């Protein structure tokens, strides 16, 4: 998978139908559209489900759940324990979340100064 696919709206991990470039990874993709949300990263985290909250649907970004303002796609929920005092079900979750793009630093501009020396007569 080319690095541009990680940030494309049409790539399958973002909810589109594109499986990646068909020919070679070196040729540019003509369907590329950059996703402003970033790239999709798979994480294992713990979440707390309150009493009365429905379990999120699996394998879709259309779940209504968010992480840092971006939608989350859940793959698996594994219950760990009940917190009876707070009425919570604590689960271990494998999910796809959007991570912001790492900003490319601008190249450092080198400032050059021309220094002229004068010869002195002795």
Range of the domain at 64: 38-102
Q: What is the pLDDT of residue 51?
A: 81
Cα distances (angstroms) measured from residue 68 to each of 38, 65, 97, 115: 12, 10, 9, 52
Residue 47 class from Cβ within 10 Å (0-12 exposed, 13-18 middle, 19+ buried)?
middle
Residue (of 74, 72, 63, 76) closest to 97 by Cα position: 72
Same domain, 44 and 97: yes
Is residue 112 domain-resident?
no
| 45 and 95, same domain (yes or no) | yes
Report the number of distinct structural domains present in the chain: 2
Digit-by-digit pLDDT tens for the chain (122 residues) are 446 777 888 888 887 888 877 655 556 677 888 888 888 888 888 888 888 888 888 888 877 888 878 888 888 888 888 888 888 888 898 988 888 776 555 566 777 777 777 777 76
- Whether 58 and 98 share a structural domain: yes
Assess if residue 119 is contained within a domain.
no
Asked if 48 and 84 sit in the same domain, the reply is yes
Q: What is d(CA 109, CA 105) in angstroms, rounded to the nearest whole number? A: 12
Within a domain: residue 19?
Answer: yes
């Amino acid at each position: 998978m080319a690095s541009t696919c990680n940030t494309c709206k049409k790539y399958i991990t973002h909810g589109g139908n594109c499986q990646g470039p068909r020919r070679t990874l070196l040729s540019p993709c003509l369907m590329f559209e950059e996703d402003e949300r970033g790239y999709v990263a798979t994480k294992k985290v713990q979440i707390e489900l309150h009493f009365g909250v429905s379990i999120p649907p699996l394998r879709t970004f259309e779940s209504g759940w968010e992480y840092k303002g971006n939608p989350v796609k859940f793959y698996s929920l594994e219950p760990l324990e009940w917190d009876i005092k707070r009425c919570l079900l604590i689960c271990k979750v494998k999910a796809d979340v959007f991570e912001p793009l790492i900003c490319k630093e601008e190249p450092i501009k080198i400032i050059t100064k021309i220094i002229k020396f004068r010869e002195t007569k002795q």
